[in-house]
């Protein structure tokens, strides 16, 4: 069991990650994932290009106004900028907290192979100890839940919840704040009601497991999906409907002790993701900091502009800063689509 001093330290870090007006950048794409995005833009998926791209993001002037934390990948946390400074040093000098993705991807669920469970618990305490030395203050573990014929199954939900809780406890014992990320995927033609049902089920199971393991809820961040219609659904829920359904789900399933809820973008359109976050904060009436932990929702345009060319860095950084600023405004319920044109 953690003592009160350890819990207080974790709570302090968690609160700083989701400080008012700030969110979290997910820059933890695996080599194959970022490779797909690079390939689609005609960028070679080399270590140097990955390093140069992350340097473009991390050295963007003023980004610390909008970001409390950045999630790194194993390769990235070991890399240096072109001036010789470690990326973690650059972030810390800006007052941005470095974090690390620690799960090792997914594997098929034995009794339901169309569903996935996340792996990476084996050897995790040792890896966390190494990441602490490298400067990580928080970690991330993602579970994926699919909606389909007969899915998600109870077994899939329970096993992913159990592994998320075990990971969270390992993190806290290492002095690292865990981001727990149960993602109900956007894939499918389901209506938003099915997403709300699945999201509620996984969140309730997750918090039951976290409490069962003795995880300190005040020392973690939840990173869930928003409640959305499947991407192939013919009738998409409105911005207001998404906001209301998502808040409904959180209020019935998420403990008030959790300092922050940082939504993943999960393939949403950049503008829509920001508008939906803004609508939730306009509605208000919840106990958590409600913020963003976007990957594509922050990087789509900057990556396209950068395109692997040094001469595009300044313009790409301006686009990145602008997108982060808009999401910071959405944190406050002060975003409007008219602001999209200000860049």
Catalytic residue among 94, 101, 140, 223: 223
Residue 263 pLDDT exceeds 70: yes
Domain boundaries, position 280: 4-342
**If you average pLDDT over every residue of the chain, what do you get?**
97
| Helix, strand, coil fractions of the chain, as percent rounded to 5 | 50, 15, 30
Cα(242)–Cα(237) distance, rounded to whole angstroms? 6
Q: In the prediction, which pLDDT does 343 show?
A: 58
- Give the total number of structural domains in the chain: 1
Give the CA angle between residues 150, 204, 201 to the nearest 5°.
Answer: 15
Residue 229 contacts residue 237 (beta carbons within 8 Å): yes
Q: Tokens at residue 306, please?
A: 């950068």
Cα(25)–Cα(293) distance, rounded to whole angstroms? 5
Cα 289 to Cα 19, 240, 284: the distances in Å are 8, 19, 10
pLDDT tens-digit series, residues 146-183: 999 999 999 999 999 999 999 999 999 999 999 999 99
Single pTM value for the model? 0.97
Mean pLDDT, residues 336-342: 90
Catalytic residue among 29, 181, 183, 196: 181
DSSP 84: S
47 tagged catalytic: no
- The confidence band for 282, taking pLDDT boundaries of 50, 70 and 90, is very high
Cα(245)–Cα(248) distance, rounded to whole angstroms? 5
Q: In the prediction, which pLDDT does 1 show?
A: 82
CATH value at residue 252 = 3.20.20.70
pLDDT tens-digit series, residues 112-127: 999 999 999 999 999 9
């Amino acid at each position: 069991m953690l003592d009160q001093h350890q819990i207080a330290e974790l709570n302090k870090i968690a609160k700083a990650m989701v400080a008012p007006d700030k969110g979290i950048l997910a820059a933890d794409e695996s080599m194959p994932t970022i490779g797909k995005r690079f390939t689609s833009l005609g960028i070679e998926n080399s270590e140097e290009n990955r390093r140069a791209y992350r340097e473009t993001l991390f050295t963007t002037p003023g980004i610390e106004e909008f970001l409390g934390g950045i999630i790194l990948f194993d390769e990235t946390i070991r890399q240096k900028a072109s001036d010789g400074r470690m990326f973690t040093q650059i972030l810390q000098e800006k007052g941005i907290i470095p974090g690390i993705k620690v799960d090792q991807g997914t594997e098929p669920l034995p009794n339901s192979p169309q569903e996935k469970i996340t792996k990476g618990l084996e050897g995790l305490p040792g890896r966390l100890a190494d990441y602490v030395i490298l400067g990580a203050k928080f970690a991330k573990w993602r579970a994926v839940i699919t909606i389909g014929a007969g899915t998600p199954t109870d077994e899939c939900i329970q096993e992913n919840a159990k592994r998320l809780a075990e990971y969270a406890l390992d993190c806290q014992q290492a002095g690292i704040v865990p981001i727990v990320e149960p993602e109900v995927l956007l894939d499918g033609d389901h209506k938003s009601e099915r997403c709300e049902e699945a999201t509620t089920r996984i969140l309730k199971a997750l918090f039951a497991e976290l409490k069962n393991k003795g995880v300190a809820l005040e020392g973690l961040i939840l990173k869930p999906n928003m409640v959305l219609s499947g991407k192939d659904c013919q009738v998409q829920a409105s911005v207001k409907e998404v906001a209301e359904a998502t808040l409904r789900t959180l209020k019935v399933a998420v403990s008030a002790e959790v300092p922050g809820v940082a939504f993943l973008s999960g393939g949403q359109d950049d503008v829509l993701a920001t508008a939906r976050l803004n609508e939730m904060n306009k509605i208000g009436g919840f106990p958590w900091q409600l913020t963003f932990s976007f990957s594509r929702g922050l990087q789509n345009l900057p990556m396209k502009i950068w395109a692997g060319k040094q001469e595009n860095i300044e313009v790409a950084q301006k686009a990145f800063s602008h997108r982060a600023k808009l999401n910071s405004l959405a944190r406050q319920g002060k975003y409007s689509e008219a602001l999209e044109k200000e860049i």
